[in-house]
């Protein structure tokens, strides 16, 4: 009787320790995910700023400049994450068109835009890798049973990158 009680106590203690460790790991991934979301938003804002600077310069045709300016300002006006990603896809397409138009010219604004696009691409890749790992941890049996993920929404940033 006492042996069974000791074994049960050891099993419960083991499960508790594993659950605590898993909760800490999941919590650290959620913190990383929040940080990478902030970094991604900052990179997207910088990319949009570089696109606005290029659109306001005299380097582009007026129609292309208006379309680029409109696409660069659209993500600020959206409320949902999905709508924002659609606006970012449109901005990527407009940036590709503008860079294709300016492929023979290498000005400061063009270089700045290319750098911002590359930074955004790297940060989005990092964010998505963190989000995928976080989803994997959230989908483990122990995390689902003990509801370790809480109310955090784990989402990947899916939008078309520029061709740079």
Tokens of residue 42, six digits? 């900052």
Measured in degrees and rounded to the nearest 5, phi and psi for residue 158 equal -110, 105
In angstroms, the CA 80 to CA 90 distance is 16
Tokens of residue 122, six digits? 């790297």
Q: Residue 142 in contact with residue 58, Cβ under 8 Å?
A: no
3-state secondary structure of 41: helix
The pLDDT value recorded for residue 120 is: 92
Q: Give 74-131 pLDDT, tens digit per residue.
A: 887 777 888 888 888 899 989 998 888 887 777 888 889 999 999 999 999 999 999 9
Most confident option among 32-41, 54-63, 147-156: 32-41
The pLDDT value recorded for residue 51 is: 92
The pLDDT value recorded for residue 126 is: 93
3-state secondary structure of 117: helix
The pLDDT value recorded for residue 39 is: 94
The pLDDT value recorded for residue 163 is: 60
Closest CA to 22 of 164, 144, 142: 142
Q: Is it the case that residue 159 has pLDDT exceeding 80?
A: no
In angstroms, the CA 104 to CA 34 distance is 40
Question: Which single residue is written with the structure tokens 């049973």?
Answer: 145
The pLDDT value recorded for residue 10 is: 93
Question: Which single residue is written with the structure tokens 């606006």?
Answer: 87
Composition of the chain by helix, strand, coil, percent to 5? 80, 0, 20
Q: Across residues 60-79, what is the average pLDDT? A: 86
The band of 162, judged by pLDDT with boundaries at 50, 70 and 90, is: low
């Amino acid at each position: 009787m006492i042996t069974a009680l000791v074994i049960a106590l050891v099993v419960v203690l083991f499960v508790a320790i594993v659950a605590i460790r898993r909760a800490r790991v999941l919590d650290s991934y959620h913190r990383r995910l929040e940080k990478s979301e902030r970094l991604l938003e900052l990179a997207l804002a910088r990319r949009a700023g570089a696109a606005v600077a290029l659109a306001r310069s005299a380097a582009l045709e007026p129609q292309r400049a208006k379309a680029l300016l409109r696409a660069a300002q659209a993500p600020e006006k959206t409320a949902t994450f999905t709508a924002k990603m659609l606006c970012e896809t449109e901005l990527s397409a407009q940036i590709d068109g503008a860079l294709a138009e300016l492929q023979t010219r290498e000005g400061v604004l063009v270089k700045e835009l290319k750098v911002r696009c590359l930074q955004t691409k790297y940060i989005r890749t990092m964010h998505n890798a963190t989000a995928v790992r976080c989803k994997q941890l959230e989908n483990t049996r122990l995390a689902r049973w003990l509801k370790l993920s809480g109310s955090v929404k784990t989402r990947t940033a899916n939008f078309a990158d520029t061709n740079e």
